[in-house]
Amino acid sequence: MSLTIGDTAPDFQLSDTEGGTWSATGSGATVLVFTCNHCPYALAWHDRIAEVARDYAERGVRVLAINANDAERYPRDSFEAMKDRVGREDWPMPYLYDATQEVARAYDAKVTPDVFVLDGERRLRYRGAPDSDYDDPRAGAVWLREALDAVLRGEEPARAETKPVGCSIKWKS
């Protein structure tokens, strides 16, 4: 089953690299970003997504990064590698581990990064890429920002869905 705009998104419980537990349920807007440590697209968009997390935190927006890749085939995406990366970099958002891949499957995540914006009632309001060009930092995650601004105003995003671009989720056999 595919999650479509307006649907209530599945809830979950996932642990982050610091030992905290997170869910999709929050009091305000929540951004879920399926990402990883090795994909060049995810790495290229990471700073822009982190900047969104910083810029919107005071407005009650939570940004949750989720890694669901098969760590056996892709050791750079293991939980230990995630913890190491967070320890070396400035992460303004929790980095969650979807070891069973159940959350990625429930959201029908396709690539890294695949971005989902949920409103305060956990309804899907945006799904897709952060912006139009992973290779151009000046794009500034504008599609994600536009969607968040609309959701925070209580409106539907003008651009509710874009094609997510990135490396495929590395599914377990």
Q: How far is CA 172 from the centre of its chain?
A: 20
Instruction: Report the residue count for the chain.
Output: 173
Domain range 14-168, CATH architecture: 3-Layer(aba) Sandwich (3.40)
Query: Is 25 exposed, middle or buried, given 0-12, 13-18 or 19+ CB atoms closer than 10 A?
Result: middle
Question: Model confidence at 2, in pLDDT bands (50, 70, 90)?
Answer: confident
CA–CA separation, 93 vs 7, rounded Å?
25
Question: Model confidence at 29, in pLDDT bands (50, 70, 90)?
Answer: very high
Neighbours of 166 (CB within 10 A): 24
pLDDT of residue 170: 98
Residue-wise pLDDT tens digits, 80-129: 999 999 999 999 999 999 999 999 999 999 999 999 999 999 999 999 99
| pLDDT exceeds cutoff 60 at 64 | yes
pTM more than 0.95: yes
Phi and psi at residue 87, in whole multiples of 5°? -65, -30
Please compute the mean of the pLDDT values over residues 56-73 and round it to a whole number: 97
pLDDT of residue 5: 97
Residue-wise pLDDT tens digits, 65-89: 999 999 999 999 999 999 999 999 9
Residues 6+ apart with CB under 8 A from 139: 48, 130, 131, 132, 133
**3-class secondary structure, 48:** helix
| pLDDT exceeds cutoff 70 at 1 | no
Phi and psi at residue 66, in whole multiples of 5°? -130, 125
